[in-house]
Structure 1
Amino acid sequence: MGYLNFSSGAADAAAWRAASELFAGFEPPEADGTVVERADTASRVATVLRQELDRLTQNDSAFRDNRQAATVIELVFEQLLPAYRQFHGDLLEHQPPGALERPFFIMAAAQAVLATGGPWENAGPQLIDQAITRLNDYLGWRPVAVLENGQLSEPYPHERVRPLPLFVAGAGTAHGRFARLVDRAINILQEAPADLLRQADFEPGLLNELAIDPRAFDFLHPAASRPNYLFGLWDPSLIDDDGCYRRLVIQQSTLEGILSWPEMHGAEIPSAELREESAAVLAGVMLMASGLSGRGPGAPQAGMPLAELLPRIATYRDSFYRWLMTRLPAAHRARLETEAATLRQPFGGVRRHINVLLASRRARQVESVTLASVLARLGRSEAAERLAGLVPAASARTLARITSR
């Protein structure tokens, strides 16, 4: 509460950690440790914040002037979050209620409002617009068109989004369904041998933020043809004074595939072993994402041809997985060694599961877009619109809707 009332928008890891703990109070883990995210948690958190502010105003002289905190709570929960969804109505249409309104994203929104600043008495739509612009700080890797006059085209403002933070240095892992997976993956990387991390040019201490791209992965977009783009990348626009990337962004579809691995098995395999395999593969995905670009624009990887870079990534990835297998209990290691001999790759079960899941999503996207076009030509506009709405990717969904009309 002190952050909301007195801060001018500087980063505060303690405030982010407190927001995560507040969400955890409304979403306690199930008996098996899984977390079910609720669509109404953000509104319940807002209610608690208002109640706590009222209590502090009556009992703490430091909060007698509570105008900033009261206004920021109102702006963030009642105006900015709905306005953000409206601003990205096409790009983030596939995100269900509550999926964006997670603890660290809400803190990023509050930080944007505080950094935009008052006067709080006259806060209105202009402040919300400025906060959204400040919040949308990520574009990712995107082929930029070159016009006939030789000038580079500017990205469309609605292409920029705020990645959903899962981990922030100093604040830890954000409460939610990915928390246990992310926390274990980061611990694995912190324990990994320095020589393996050096091959990926990955330094755990440089990871200031791990986030997911909330945009649906478009399998037909030119950006998808970039090797390893499906897994993630360092944010090329967030570079520190030493020339190092600080925010790693991974694809939501990939992370959801990794998370779903334990659900694919019954009681014959201990769930703890399956969760460990998921965390291992997430750690490997982060290393592959890092190895593609290196720790910064000046890294040797930035100038390497793909023909040389990709075999290097595959080599250290498999070395990393083999090292992980040596650290597992004997029974778990024996099962994975048998699996690796059958599938010809370490941790082959979960890796194949992710590839199958992503291939299935690609097939559904192509199928829905094509069928929507066919139904539109047959005059079945309602059915075509229904199929178009099933496409998560904004560009493919928009194309399907244009065709269906």
Structure 2
Amino acid sequence: MQRNMMMKILYYDCFSGISGDMNLGAMLDLGVDPAYLLGELKKVNIDDSYEIRISREKRRGIEGTRFEVLLQTHDHSHQHRTYSDIARLLEESGVSARAKNTGLNIFRKVAEAEAKVHGCDVEEVHFHEVGALDSIVDIVGAAVCLDYLQVDRVLSSPVEIGGGFVRCTHGILPVPAPATVEILRGIPLKSGAVAFETTTPTGAAILAATVDSFTDKLNFTPVKIGYGVGQRDTEIPNVLRIYLGESGEGESDPDVAEQDAWVLECNIDDMNPELYDAVMDRLFEKGALDVTLTPILMKKSRPAVTLSVICDQERKKEMEEILWLHTSTFGLRAYRISKVMLKRDFSTVETKYGPVTMKQAYFKGKRIKSKPEYEDCKRLAGEKGVSILEILDFLSSGKCR
């Protein structure tokens, strides 16, 4: 009998945002061994004196773990380090290869955002707050904790960013600060729960570098729940909640992938039908996952068409721009969906008409369906002077090599 394999899931519930210290507090609250974390952090050769304090605190009645980095000597708040300096610190440290790679990816997210905001190369970026000792501890600690937990998949809710303004090295900036919002590009956000910054650059980078998918759906069984306590005591509980859970056989099937996507729709009753072909081509060229036209009847029984586009979060704005500029619509509907897809691969078969690409789909380790790429069949039909149906019949006959 085949054993039911369980997938280990880590889920960030960012209803009050996320910061580096809140993340480590929640990880410890979840069950990461404090002695292990502190021991791994000592393997990073930072020429500074600091102390870590771990305590239990409450925010709005919710008790959790507070993680603090206390600087013991001079003021570190304006200490600058480059991305190369930090990369060297991690590469020369004794933490595991997986933790090193995760930590470098997190810092890279911050470096790329800072480079874009300030108009310089990544290697030239001088970190300020994020390069300070406490943030190095937060980021390396996040990588160490993820390595300790050995989860199979990391998920997150949409991220609360707060509101108002924040004071930093460059002065007073709107929330989210430019570097933070650059890190959060493509990530679903919420705002306005409180009038201050709830998600820091460090917290944003941890999510951007480690989360596989952002969703409000909890399709797993929670096993442990941890709360990381933030610095402020505010109108909402200033805590980060993290779930450690398991998903069953259906969820853990490696041949089935689920991802969030967007549907954009508009109803059109006043556009030349000949223009739809060009609009669809443009949408696909810019990365649309699917485009469909559905005939409908509008008010006063006017015949019309619903133009529907499925796309990833990062392509949403581009799709909207095409619909504004290349159709006659004055309005759009947009809503989030979940796409579930079978694992697929491609192979080439030789036919008497020429090579045809075949797409195969898999489920529970078995190939369950196969189909030829239509464009290949269409091209060969034109070249050989035969019908597409003739090529499809030949493919289904089993005579291909």
- When you count helix as a share of all residues, which structure comes out higher? 1
Larger Rg: 2
Q: What is the TM-score normalised by the length of structure 1?
A: 0.27
- When you count strand as a share of all residues, which structure comes out higher? 2
Which of structures 1 and 2 has the larger relative contact order (alpha carbons within 8 angstroms, sep 6+)? 2
